[in-house]
Amino acid sequence: MLNDANIFTTAASRQKDSLGCVSNQLHKDLELHTGEFTFYRKCRREQNTSEVATPPSDRGFLIGVSLAAGHRRRIMSGNRSTLHDFEKDSVYVRNFEDDYRADLHGAFDFVLVELSHAFVTNTCYERGGSAITGFSSLLGKKDPIFGHLAQVLALTLDSRSEASPLFVEQLGVALGTHLIDRYGKVASESDKKSRRLSSLQETRAKDMLLARTQGSISLEEIASACNLSRSYFIRAFRETTDRTPHQWLVERRIDRARDLLKHSDAPLSEIAIACGFADQSHFTRTFSQLVGAPPGTWRRETRK
């Protein structure tokens, strides 16, 4: 559910946005953040060429739907590249676990929705389906259902302050559910086993992740210590633990916070810092989402 902290932002002042686009070249650059979704409107009128690039991460998946024809992009993968033309209602999906590089040619107008791994996992579970590992290639494929939903979402995002938070979130659910139902790929058991970390790699990765409480290590360093690429490590960690590295680390921090809340009288601000949270507000918000009650309330109830 959206709350007062979920606001629209205009990113014109940034050189590169979170999707790798050059912000000052965009005619429209809107973002709306929620717990499980981030919505974007990216529009460029000029017929120029630019490059986008994002390194592997565990952010989840991105659906992009073209609102107009005339855009072309070249996708690079290793030493190979493929060229794709986008018409109205053309779609693409990015897995943030992959290293993404592309050249964008000409004007474009896209609505994009970023889905968290938690949304994908929970939706599969709630609908009684098998877990999925990714999605079928949709580069340039036209999908009228995505097209209609994107048109409504574009109008809603453009209205900004008039946008109904609940309605926007429901559009995200509709887009994500259609993606999962229509294009989700179910991994075979042999595929799942082949991508798991070994016991040694799992132990090493978890120990190094816990060291990130002080912000002293990166996913790149952990992957290297496991003799894996960053993108492969992220996939293998998720197959092994059913969590992304970030999700696993947050849960461990909450476990430590519970222990401190139960067995110490330290103020919440000190516990937040000791457990690796940016501040007390961040700690309270995350604790409430995972545990179901604010830390102060949980402490009082536990000590009764």
Say which CATH architecture domain 8-186 belongs to.
Sandwich (2.60)
Rounded to 5°, angle at Cα 303 from 300 and 304: 90
Measure the CA–CA gap between 208 and 219, rounded to whole angstroms. Answer: 9
- In this predicted structure, what is the pLDDT of residue 128? 64
- In this predicted structure, what is the pLDDT of residue 12? 42
Report residue 262 as tokens. 């139960």
Least confident of 95-99, 118-122, 193-197, 201-205: 193-197
Report residue 234 as tokens. 């992220």
Q: Highest-confidence range of 93-107, 190-204, 229-243, by mean pLDDT? A: 93-107
- Topology alike, domains 8-186 and 247-302: no
- DSSP letters spanning the chain: ---TT--EEE-TT-SB-TTS-BGGG-SEEEEEE-SSEEEEEEEE-S--EEEEEE---SS-EEEEEESSS-EEEEEEETTEEEEEEE-TTEEEEEETTS-EEEEEES-EEEEEEEE-HHHHHHHHHHTTPPPEEEE---TTEE-HHHHHHHHHHHHHHHTGGG--HHHHHHHHHHHHHHHHHHHEEEPPHHHHHHTSPPHHHHHHHHHHHHGGGGT---HHHHHHHTT--HHHHHHHHHHHHSS-HHHHHHHHHHHHHHHHHHH----HHHHHHHTT-SSHHHHHHHHHHHHSS-HHHHHHHHT-
Q: Is the pTM of the predicted complex or chain greater than 0.75?
A: no
- In this predicted structure, what is the pLDDT of residue 126? 73
Q: Would you kindly state where each structural domain of the chain is located, as residue ranges?
A: 8-186, 189-242, 247-302
pLDDT in tens, 214-266: 556 788 889 889 888 787 888 889 889 988 898 999 999 999 999 999 999 99
- In this predicted structure, what is the pLDDT of residue 194? 64
Least confident of 45-59, 121-135, 230-244: 121-135
- Using pLDDT thresholds of 50, 70 and 90, give the confidence band for residue 40: very high
Share of the chain above pLDDT 70, in %: 88
- In this predicted structure, what is the pLDDT of residue 266? 92
Has residue 11 got a pLDDT over 50?
no
73 compared with 120, residue with greater pLDDT: 73
17 compared with 176, residue with greater pLDDT: 176
The tokens 């090493």 sit on which residue? Answer: 204
- In this predicted structure, what is the pLDDT of residue 2? 44
- In this predicted structure, what is the pLDDT of residue 93? 93
- In this predicted structure, what is the pLDDT of residue 7? 42
Q: Please tell me the class of the 247-302 domain.
A: mainly alpha
Interval 272-280 mean pLDDT: 89
Query: Among positive and negative, which fits the CA dihedral 166, 170, 173, 179?
Result: negative
Report residue 108 as tokens. 């474009």
